[in-house]
Amino acid sequence: MRLYIKDEKVKKLLLTLTLSALILFTCFGAFEDIPLTGLSRGLGGALSPRIEGEESIFYNPAGLVREEKVSFSLSYCQPYQISDLNNSVIGIDYKLGRYNLGLGINQFSLTEVYTEQKIIAGIGTNFKRLFLGAAVNYYSISISGLYYMPSESDIPPLKSKSSATTITIGSILRATENLNLSLTIYDIGGAEFTHSSDTEGNVTELPMQVSAGGFYNFRDYVFISAELKNSLDDFGFLDKSLRLGIEYVFYKTFSFRLGNYSGNTTYGFGI
């Protein structure tokens, strides 16, 4: 059943409640740490130990190193099956000599009242079996015309635009021909976003994180990846998140993917 709401005040209130729930229950209050692309969703987000070209810009810039001259990927979804929520992802990888340059754009929006965008520019290279990468992350949050209480016209709407820049560094060691080990540090320096109206405000924090993972290739048709990701703060390691993924490729063309993301089962197909 689909519900159509014609009263703009009621619709605004429902959108406000939806946004408030997302801000309260996402991992860091904004820029929820969820699998972004079709490949990563199928593998439970365990993509950091894999060398996957343009998709690696969102997980580990060391994985940008591929032989293709140019590659790109596109992804779009409506998270939580809410029609007013939109998530668009674009990834590009360009090989320039011994370096690979990457660009990633991830935008999450709630109709016209809330937009968060992450733009990533990265570079990757390798020294025999050691792959290294670094990326600059630009985050921005824009809120306009969102009321705390739409029924009370004397309370001003929440309007704000906030941005921050962080750095991600990553590495992948090809320990053997079939085994990769990875270490990635995200959002070095951390980030804070301030949202305020004339009456009140709040701060969203995006802490630094670290990830350690492994990837195993069994006879070129079974691929297993695992990753443990942790948030860092003044008290040490918190908010541990385990990600597991397995991919089975048959006829060198079709693949079936199964994953586990923080206790949630994921799956996907690829060609």
Three-class secondary structure assignment of the chain: CCCCCCCHHHHHHHHHHHHHHHHHHCCCCCCCCCCCCHHHHHCCCCCCCCCCHHHHHHCCHHHHCCCCCEEEEEEEECHHHCCCEEEEEEEEEEEECCEEEEEEEEEEEECCCEEEEEEEEEEEEEECCEEEEEEEEEEEEEEEEECCCCCCCCCCCEEEEEEEEEEEEEEEEECCCCEEEEEEEEEECCEEEEEECCCCEEEEEECCEEEEEEEEEECCCEEEEEEEEEEEECCEEEEEEEEEEEEEEECCCEEEEEEEECCEEEEEEEC
Predicted pLDDT of residue 26: 38
Residue 105 sits at φ, ψ, to 5 deg, of: -130, 125
Q: Position 35: which residue type?
A: P
Backbone angles phi, psi at 136, to 5 degrees: -105, 130
Q: 183: how many CB neighbours lie within 10 A of its CB?
A: 17
Residue 202: pLDDT band (50, 70, 90) is low
Which of the residue ranges 8-12, 175-179, 191-195 has the most confident prediction, judged by mean pLDDT? Answer: 175-179
Q: Both tokens of residue 86?
A: 């939109």
Mean pLDDT of 242-258: 93
- d(CA 133, CA 156) in angstroms, rounded, equals 45
- Is-contact 195 204, C-beta < 8 A? yes
**Mean pLDDT, range 8-12, rounded to an integer:** 49
Residue 29 pLDDT greater than 50, yes or no:
no
Instruction: Name which residue leads in pLDDT, 32 or 85.
Output: 85
Mean pLDDT of 65-86: 85
State the average pLDDT over residues 171-181. 96
Give the pLDDT mean for 191-203: 60
Max Cα–Cα distance, the chain, nearest Å:
67
Q: Is the pLDDT of residue 2 over 50?
A: no
What number is the average pLDDT over the span 253-262?
A: 92
**pLDDT tier at 223 (50, 70, 90 boundaries)?**
very high
What are the tens digits of pLDDT across the range 36-55? 888 888 999 999 999 999 99
CA separation (Å) from 43 to 50, 114, 175, 180, 246? 11, 29, 22, 16, 6
CA distance 201 to 251: 56
Q: Is the pLDDT higher at 155 or at 214?
A: 214
The pTM (predicted TM-score) of the whole model is 0.80
